[in-house]
Amino acid sequence: MSVNVTTRSADGITLVRLDGEITSNSAPGVQDRILPLAGDTGRLLIDFTGVPYVSSAGLRMLLLLYRRAQAADAKIVLVGLSEEVRFVMSATGFLDFFEIGDDAETAMGGVRP
């Protein structure tokens, strides 16, 4: 099970769309794709609309991403989280670290100067 990762950039914002379950199997691949982006962009939007499930290892990958972005002074915004994923992140405290947006288009619009 791998996750499909598509990216596009505009106005210093990078949008990453993920499709598939993020588990210990797929997380390393996703991480390899996104980690480099966390450093070279002012703002990274990750669209979870196509992600039904994020496992414990997946959440750890996200937090690692957050720490890397923080070190590079970049911002990470998570959008399109399913109710379940959002609930799991909230119950485990992971949500506290992230900025959350409703959907990609709004979030993109919201951060444009």
Partner 1 sequence: MTAERIDSFPTRQIDGYRVSHGRPFPYGAHVVPGGVTFSVFSDRATSMTLVLFERGADKPMEELRFPPEYRIGSVFAMTVFGLDPENLEYGFRADGPYDPAKGDRFDAAGILTDPHARLLSGRDTWGVPPDWSNPYQYRAVIALEDFDWEDDAPLGTPTEELVIYETHVRGFTRHPSSGVSAPGTYAGLREKIPYLRELGVNCVELMPIFEFDEFDNSRVNPGTGERLYNYWGYNTIGFLAPKAGYAATGRYGMQADEFKALVKDLHKAGIEVILDVVFNHTAEGNEQGPTISFKGLDNATYYMLTPEGYYYNFSGTGNTVNCNHPVVRDFVLACLRYWVSEYHVDGFRFDLAAILDRGPDGSPLPNPPLLEQLAYDPILRHSKLIAEAWDAGGLYQVGHFPNYGRWAEWNGKYRDVVRRFVKGDEGTVGELAARIVGSPDLYGGRGPTASVNFITAHDGFTLNDLVSYNDKRNDANGEGNADGANDNNSWNCGAEGPTDDPEVNALRTRQMKNALAILLTSQGVPMLLAGDEVGRTQLGNNNTYCQDNELSWFDWDLVTANAELLRFAQSMIAFRRDHPILREARHPLGVDSAGVGLPDVSWHGVRPWEPDWSPGSRLLAVMRCGRDASGGRDHVYVAMNSHWEGHDLELPELSGGAVWRVFADTADPGGTAERRVGGRRHHIGPRSVVILTGSTA
Residue 111 tokens, joined: 């951060």
Binding string, residues 25-54; x marks residues near partner 1 by CB under 8 A: x-----------------------------
Unique residue bearing structure tokens 């002074």: 73
Unique residue bearing structure tokens 């480099």: 36
Shorter beta-carbon distance to partner 1: residue 64 or 111: 64
Least distance (Å) between residue 93 CB and partner 1: 3
Shorter beta-carbon distance to partner 1: residue 6 or 24: 24
Restricted to residues 56-85, the positions that interact with partner 1 (CB under 8 A) are: 56-57, 59-60, 63, 67
Q: Which residues contact 56 (CB under 8 A, 6 or more apart)?
A: 24
DSSP for 48-61, please give it.
Answer: EEE---B-HHHHHH
Stretch that binds partner 1, among 6-14, 23-31, 35-43, 74-82 (CB under 8 A): 23-31
d(CA 17, CA 37): 13
